[in-house]
Structure 1
Amino acid sequence: MASAAQQTLFMPFENGILPPPAGRMRFLAAGIDADTALDDAWKKALTCLQPFRPEYLKLEKAGFDVVARLEGNARFDGGLMLLGKHRGRNEEWFAEMLSRVAPDGIIVVCGGNKLGIDGFRKWAGKIVAVEDRFSKNHAVVFWLRRPDDLPDDAIAALRPTAKHVEGQFHTAAGMFSHGAIDKGSALLAGHLEGRVSGAVADFGAGWGYLAAECLKHPKKIRKLDLYEADFESIEAARGNLPSLSGEIPLSFHWHDLVSEQVAEIYDTVVMNPPFHEGRATDVSLGQAFIAVAARRLKPGGRLLLVANRQLPYEATLKPLFRSVETLQETDGFKVIEAKK
């Protein structure tokens, strides 16, 4: 079943306020979930933009036309956009809508109240006049028409500026730790020397900071594989790391560690596992990452992870590893080493 916000997104069409797609009309849909209750007319009309691998796989399985990134000069008759938690990525998607939807095409945007939808509506309204809006299911939906006189440079100005970290790492809005090195990852980096060796994997690699830190110890590393669920982040890592790798082979995997199998076996796994901000007791993603690491590490292999101090990963680690040691606790973080 679709989220309450996504149900609200389609209400202007269901209530007869806006006409649904007809004939061969195509709509770009950014950020929507795989809603199997949508009728076939909508499924045929939609091209879904979804860079988050778990949701991409669900859309693909449900029979939607889905892409991780829009390439070429694809154009659409209308657009649908469901706000996510990253303001910058929402702004990027809105600019993409204006760039690709035909003049006078309808663009419909919806988001939950807690995601700042009213603020986003006011921001969008400064660029293009909003036709109407309404609230339902603790969400707001609004719509506008793509002007026929909107210059390309005005659209380009809406896109968030990419940020470079330490003068060498490209990062962009929507990525974890966009524009700065995460404090927990930096703490873990201080414990890699003498511990990373052989075939190494970075689970939840983001734009490649921890992998880059691993590459500072080249004599010990035979290869380095990166796994990341966000397409834009793994593509950034693909550009960030080759100049640092020397002769160490790199591989980049746009991958959902929870639902997709990892084929390789490793000597070392490093990770800063994700968890839901504001819901510190929900550690299921981190637990899943740990379980995958335990399955794909050789006997004697080593897992190095950093986490917020209060997250109870030790209860997951101890049944799966021969030894579990906290290497450091400081500034609200802990660095843990677990050996198979």
Structure 2
Amino acid sequence: MVSPAQQTLFLPFDNGILLPPVGETRFLAAGIEANTALGDVWKTALTCLQPFRPDYLKLQSTGFHAVTRLDDHARFDGGLLLLGKHRGRNEEWFADLLSRVAPGGTIVVCGGKKLGIDSFRKWAGKTVAVEDRLSKNHAVVFWLTRPAELTDEAIAALRPAAKHVNGQFHTAPGMFSHGEVDRASALLAGHLEGRLSGAVADFGAGWGYLSAECLKYPQKIRKLDLYEADFEAIEAARGNLSGFAGDVPLAFHWHDLVSEPVTEIYDTVVMNPPFHEGRATDVSLGQAFITAAARRLKTGGRLLLVANRQLPYEATLKPLFRSVETLQETDGFKAIEAKK
């Protein structure tokens, strides 16, 4: 079922206010989900910019053309933007649309009211005049025409700045814990010494903080594999760890741990699993990560996990592991060691 906000995104076309694509018309769509109700005209016209692997896979499997990044020379006749929860990534995508859509082309933007669509509309309107808006399904859609006189400098000014953490890690808006070390991950990092061995995996690796902490003990690690569903984050991790690895072989997997199987076997898995789907808590995400780890750990292998203290992961861990021990509880988080 497609989100109400995405239904609202297409409302100006459904109502005949805006013209849908015809012939060779091409639209760039940033952040949209797969929607089988969209006809072949839209499927043919759309290039879907989607770095989040679960949504990317659904788009591809339902016949849409999905990409993680745009070719330098890609240009379009119109654009669509479905806002996500990360304001910085929304701003980056809006700038992408302005730089890729031809002058005179229509750009349509939609988001839920709780995601700040009204403030985003006012922000966008400071650079390009908003022509009109509609409201439905607790969402707002607005549209504008890409001006011919808009300069590259004006578009560049819209892009949020990347942030460096500890002077060494590159992070960008949209990534988990953009611009700072996550406190829960830092808690788990304090318990890695003496607990890492052999083949190690980082499930939900983000931009690579926990993996970098693992690499502080290279004499204990035979190899380190990173798994992450956000393409931009795993690519950032690839760059961030280039100076840390030494002789430890690294592998970077753009991977959905919920729907895609892991094929390797590990001695140690570390994780700070996600627990939000949009704005709602979704314990099943962390449970899926734990189940995936249990399947791919050797007998005697070790899972090192950190989570918010109130999340009931012990009920999932205990049937799958020989022993489960809370290493530390502090500041609303818990670090757990589970042995297979």
Report TM bin, short chain. Answer: over 0.9
Are residues 154 and 135 of structure 1, via their aligned partners in 2, closer, same or farther at CA, if it must alter by over 3 Å? Answer: same
- The reply to whether residue 167 of structure 1 matches residue 193 of structure 2 is no
SS in 2 for 1:225: strand
Q: CA deviation at 1:279?
A: 3.6
* Structure 1 residue identity aligned to 2:254: W
Please show how residues 48-63 of structure 1 align to structure 2 within 5 Å. Answer: 48-63=48-63
Structure-2 residue corresponding to 1:324: 324
Please show how residues 282-293 of structure 1 align to structure 2 within 5 Å. Answer: 282-293=282-293
Deviates more, 1:67-76 or 1:105-114: 67-76
Structure-1 residue corresponding to 2:38: 38
Aligned length in residues: 339
Please show how residues 1-340 of structure 1 align to structure 2 within 5 Å. Answer: 1-276=1-276, 279-280=280-281, 282-340=282-340
SS in 2 for 1:55: helix
Are residues 279 and 141 of structure 1, via their aligned partners in 2, closer, same or farther at CA, if it must alter by over 3 Å? Answer: closer
Deviates more, 1:270-279 or 1:68-77: 270-279
CA distance in 1, matches of 2:71, 2:180: 28
Q: CA deviation at 1:72?
A: 1.6
* TM-score normalized by the length of structure 2: 0.99
Any runs of at least 4 consecutive aligned residues in structure 1 with deviations exceeding 2 A, and if so which? Answer: 277-280
SS in 2 for 1:338: strand
CA distance in 2, matches of 1:27, 1:62: 18
Q: CA deviation at 1:3?
A: 1.0
1:203-251 alpha-carbon deviations (Å, 9 max, x no partner):
0000000000000001000000000000000000000002101000000
What RMSD, in angstroms, separates the aligned Cα atoms of the two structures? 0.7
CA distance in 1, matches of 2:134, 2:72: 34
* Structure 2 residue identity aligned to 1:20: P
1:25-83 alpha-carbon deviations (Å, 9 max, x no partner):
00000011100000110110000000000000000000100001112210000000100
CA distance in 2, matches of 1:255, 1:141: 32
CA distance in 2, matches of 1:40, 1:245: 47
Q: Which runs of 5+ in 2 are unaligned?
A: none
CA distance in 1, matches of 2:143, 2:279: 30
* TM-score normalized by the length of structure 1: 0.99
CA distance in 1, matches of 2:183, 2:44: 45
Q: CA deviation at 1:278?
A: 5.3
1:279-311 alpha-carbon deviations (Å, 9 max, x no partner):
44x300000000000000000000000000000
CA distance in 2, matches of 1:64, 1:230: 19
CA distance in 1, matches of 2:71, 2:249: 28
Are residues 272 and 39 of structure 1, via their aligned partners in 2, closer, same or farther at CA, if it must alter by over 3 Å? Answer: same
* Structure 1 residue identity aligned to 2:92: E
The alignment-based identity, stated in percent, is 81
